[in-house]
Amino acid sequence: MHYAERVEGNKIRGRSDSFKEHYSQATMFLKSQSMPERQHLVEACQFELGKVERMEILERVVEQFRNIDETFAREVAGGIGVALRVSGAAELPHPAQAAPTGQRALDASPALHRLCS
């Protein structure tokens, strides 16, 4: 619910630039998985994507997975018959490969490791 109040100038409800980043939580989650859990995720993605009939949709989904983790995307793609596009030298690195300015690269979540250990 919004509260109406008198203000000077423009009142906006803006979002910070970090709100636009959609992949860091998925990357941290994936890196926090044990090998059997990670393999289960790969197989689950292959199973669900195996139902998709249009190759262009499969390619787009796998490209989204590349933003999370390149190896994960390759593992999923290999099981569903999708060839990954070769990254060109002029392309920007995927968010999972380069930390945003002022932030460290994403590691596994200590909280998830404690739960899974």
Give the per-residue pLDDT at 17: 76
Is residue 90 one of the residues assigned to a domain?
no
Residue 37 maps to a domain: yes
Domain region containing 63 = 23-83+107-116
- Asked whether residue 3 is assigned to any structural domain, the reply reads no
Structure tokens at 80: 């569903």
pLDDT tens by residue, 32-68: 999 999 999 999 999 999 999 999 999 999 999 999 9
Q: How many domains does the chain have?
A: 1
CATH, residue 34: 1.20.1370.20
Kindly state whether residue 44 falls inside one of the protein's structural domains.
yes
Please write down the long-range contacts of 107-112, taking CB distance under 8 Å and 24 or more positions apart: 107/28, 107/31, 108/28, 108/31, 108/32, 109/28, 109/29, 109/31, 109/32, 112/28, 112/29, 112/32, 112/33
Q: What is the pLDDT of residues 59-104, one digit of tens each?
A: 999 999 999 999 999 999 999 999 988 765 334 344 444 444 444 4
